[in-house]
Amino acid sequence: MNALRTLAFVTNADKSGAVELTRELLTLAKAAGVKTKHTIRLAIARGWLTGCDACCVIGGDGTLLGVAREAARAQVPIIGVNRGSLGFLTTFSADEARAQFASLLRGEFNLAYRSLLACSTSPSRHDIALNDVLIKDQVNSRIVRLEVFANDQLVTEYTCDGLIFSTPTGSTAYNLSAGGPLISPDAGVIAMTPICPHTLSNRSIIFREDVRLRVQSNNPQSTLLIAMDGQRNLVSGADTPIEITISPLKLPLAQRLDYEHFAVVRTKLHWSGGFIERK
């Protein structure tokens, strides 16, 4: 990666210490001769990242998710600095960002290209998601009856509270909470996990990344809510199929040169254990 010449900052001002950390990093960037731009608006406008070499997002994973769509469209790498809780996506701590910022400005980081989901309800109504696409009834208390097709072949009909379609990146988010599998971020797959299915044998299904999924409601009275990364919503009537595929776009995500995904997973999920000596 070449040295950064123009760096954007997106700061979640509601996160403790985020504004102060931003000031520190802005000062370091300007001292190194790097042009900067800054916003505390979490829903950045289309085109705002044009001409930037990278975007430093200071907040939590939710803050990064709000920037991911535009960063993927502009192919601008995101440097995520965690001021939230878990921080699976914002992999730099505040101390790491301070200590390594000079080398980051020199372009000394790796890029991981994370897959995105594309979801559409019509040619004019579509969106992309880094973590997941959630399909549920617009009325929270109602169950849904959904048919799922993979490449036009029926998978099954679900009676459940909703369906989660997850990228490998999103496997540590809602998918994991709903009992879905953890997936290595470079795996070329989509995970489908039902939420509270009425048939106990309904479990997560893993599809190849070239699959074309179609979801249809079997309840003519139902209006479906489609949540993209838990932040942006589409609405679909019962007679409107929902199509989900892997997007041709990928999100460039900056990582430390010594980054290890499962080291992060072990830390964030508090995994423990060691070798058992056998006698």
In contact, 244 and 236? CB cutoff 8 Å: no
CB 143 within 8 Å of CB 161: yes
CA proximity to 114, closest of 189, 174, 47, 181 = 189
Residue of 53, 61, 137, 229 with catalytic role = 61
- Do you know the residue count of the chain? 279
**Contact predicate 207/194, CB 8 Å:** no
Contact 155, 165 (CB under 8 A): no
Q: Are 58 and 9 in contact (CB under 8 A)?
A: yes
CA dist., res. 135 & res. 163, Å (int) = 5
d(CA 115, CA 209): 9
Partnered with residue 199 across adjacent β-strands are: none
- Phi then psi for residue 120, to 5 deg, are -140, 145
Place of tokens 């290890």: 260
CA distances to 15, 149, 173, 251 from 112, in Å? 26, 31, 18, 8
Known catalytic residue at 61? yes
Q: Are 35 and 88 in contact (CB under 8 A)?
A: no
Cα(43)–Cα(10) distance, integer angstroms: 10
Of 30, 78, 32, 34, nearest in space to 58 by CA: 78
The residues assigned a catalytic role are 61
